[in-house]
Structures are given as C-alpha cells and as structure tokens.
Amino acid sequence: MLKFENLIFGVPGKGKILVNGIIGNQECVVLTGPTGCGKTTLLRVIAGLEAPESGSIFFGEKKLTGLPPQEIKAGLVFQDSGLWPDLNIKKNLSYGFKFHFSLSRLEPTLVEEKIQKAAQFWGIEKLLERFPSNLSGGEKQSVAFVRTLLIDPPFFLLDESWSALDLEMRQKFLAQFKNFLNEKPKPTLWVSHHSEDLTNIATRIVAWDVRQQCISF
C-alpha cells in the first residue's frame, strides 16, 4: 500500500499542499481537480522526481521520500508520453527491462516474446517497428502505458495517461486494465480532470479540496 504521512509539497502559485491517507493494494484511486492545482506535481513527488517540503511516503514498510526515482521505480505514465524519438517502439518498450529483471530474464528471445505478447494484448503490435514521430498522440500514450506495464512496477501513477485516446480505444484499455488489476492488484493513483468514464475502474474517487489545500486518501 501507499501511505502518506503529513506530506507537504509546494505548487508554484498555489502554495503548499498537505497530503494524508492510504491507497490500499487493491485500490485504484482516481484523483480529480481543476487544472494547475498540483495533481501532476503530487505524482512527481511520489515518483521521486521532485522533493517534498516535509512528511513521508511509504510503500509498505519502505520509505520512498528521499529515494531517487531509479530506486523507487514507480509505474508513472506521463501525459506527454516521454518516448525517445531515436528509438523505435520496440526499443522504447524494452528499454526498462535491464533495470528491472535479472540477466537470465533478459534473453533477447524472451524479451521479444514478452513485448510481442503485450503488444498484441494491448493492440499496438503494428506500431513496434515505427518511430514515435510517426505515431498519433493516442498511439504514443498507448505505447507509454504498455512500456510501464512491461516493467511490472510496484504501483501505478497515471497522469491523464489516456487523454488522447479515442473513446473506443479508451474503453478497451479501461476494461483490460481493470482485468489486469484484478489479477495483479497494485496500488494505483489515477489523476484525471474527468472521472466519468473511470467510475468502472475506480474503487474511490477523491476530489481535490482546493480551498483547504489538502488531500485525504
């Protein structure tokens, strides 16, 4: 589970935000709030990309605050995808493997098999040989999401991750991701402006209390 203990972080122009509470292992919490209130900053703080002012974040017994992002290895999916333009999609997908799996599991055939399987499951197998600049916004987001899934992160942080997907694709991803979480429960924090279509997957929807400048999970 993800646990927040008096976590305080700053948001430019908005002041300090206080976060408390727990996101359980079986939970998929959707966090909604107005633009610029600090939702993305919260995800960045959890992932170790930004330092909080005070307080702590725990994953189980492990204290995350103070650790670099490469040790936290959060399953953060960026809104702008963060794909590397000089690597094709297959290489983009396989890049994280060497940091997460032992050498024996890095056999090229195993990696290839794993990527093919995931790509087919998520419907991006036709994109594997292409480069990011030849992809639409929605396709980039799909790839970024699958890239995160492939490394089997301890928890998920999704930042408007499917905002560019068309409705059909979004519904398909939602259904598949719900199944995925049912099979492999992991704490998931999903940031979104709109929670309407996330009600199926969300175990809780938390609204950002702008006036109180605090979040309680």
Which DSSP string corresponds to the chain? -EEEEEEEEEETTTEEEEEEEEE-TT-EEEEE--TTSSHHHHHHHHHTSS--SEEEEEETTEE-TTS-HHHH--EEE-TT----TTS-HHHHHHTTHHHHS-GGGG-HHHHHHHHHHHHHHHT-GGGTTS-GGGS-HHHHHHHHHHHHHHT--SSEEEESTTTTS-HHHHHHHHHHHHHHHHHS---EEEEES--GGGTTT-SEEEE-BTTTTEEE-
81 binds another protein (CB under 8 A): yes
Q: Which is nearer to another protein, 42 or 202 (CB)?
A: 42
131 binds another protein (CB under 8 A): yes
180 binds another protein (CB under 8 A): no
Least Å distance between CB 155 and another protein? 12
Least Å distance between CB 216 and another protein? 26
67 binds another protein (CB under 8 A): no
- Using the contact rule CB under 8 A, the part of the chain among 1-9, 128-136, 162-170, 208-216 near another protein is 128-136
Least Å distance between CB 76 and another protein? 5
147 binds another protein (CB under 8 A): yes
